[in-house]
Amino acid sequence: MHANWKTWAHVTKLDPDKHLPPGAVEEIVTSGTDALMLSGTLNVTQENLRELLDMVSAYGLPLVVEPASPDCAIFDGEVDHLFVPSVMNTSDARWIIGKHYAWLRNSGSINWDIVVPEAYIVLNPASAVGRVTGADCTLAKEDVAAFVGVADRYFRFPIVYIEYSGTYGDPDIVRAASDAIEHAILYYGGGIRSAEQAAEMGSIADTIVVGNAVYEDGIDVLRATVRAVQ
């Protein structure tokens, strides 16, 4: 499989805090998805992250860890990439730069070859990530476009991630983000539960991320979302 994240159309997000039934991992890795992202907001520990990594690492699919905190960014040599988020639309600097500073301050050495910075724009106020980071989710599409421009043109983040986390987003807002991007790869995540939704967001964003559907709707829905964008 392709470890070049710039070419992925479909990423499956697995949460270390959620339980997968027996046999599910094999179904997921053979679904046609381009990569697995191990990522969650609440109750993510080195232990449950390690357990999930052990479950999925034997299959040869590209693996990304998206650390919820600096102590979960330790799997050098075992994953293809660390996708490290900075939340653009929060006034709490911990989620823009503070956690990142702590990571560098307290870690021995970092393999920068696997680190990919992500500019997150969080748009679901009811989501765990929205609450934890204090994100301002009441943004008009012009606001989102401006944040995207800052992330892409000024800070030069390689990924801009529109995160609706658990709810299906507004295609007009995602389109405004796409129109504002010059260089970055646009990721969309949130509430994709059908081939139609996957096709709609996949036609606007470069990469879609499907997460909750794996746990709540099952493997057939995951496969349908893969087919819709491949």
Binding residues for Mg(2+), by number, are 15, 41
The DSSP-derived string for 115-126 is: EEEEEEEE--TT
Token pair 């995207």 is found at: 148
Q: Cβ(49)–Cβ(71) under 8 Å? A: no
How far is residue 181's CA from residue 40's CA, in Å, rounded to a whole number? 26
Residues of the binding site for sn-glycerol 1-phosphate: 13, 161-166, 191, 211-212
Burial of 215 per CB tally in 10 Å (0-12, 13-18, 19+):
middle
How far is residue 199's CA from residue 195's CA, in Å, rounded to a whole number? 6
Residues of the binding site: 13, 15, 41, 161-166, 191, 211-212
Q: Helix, strand, or coil here: 10?
A: strand
Could you tell me the two tokens for 213? Answer: 């559907």
Cα-based distances in Å from 1 to 9, 15, 46: 13, 22, 26
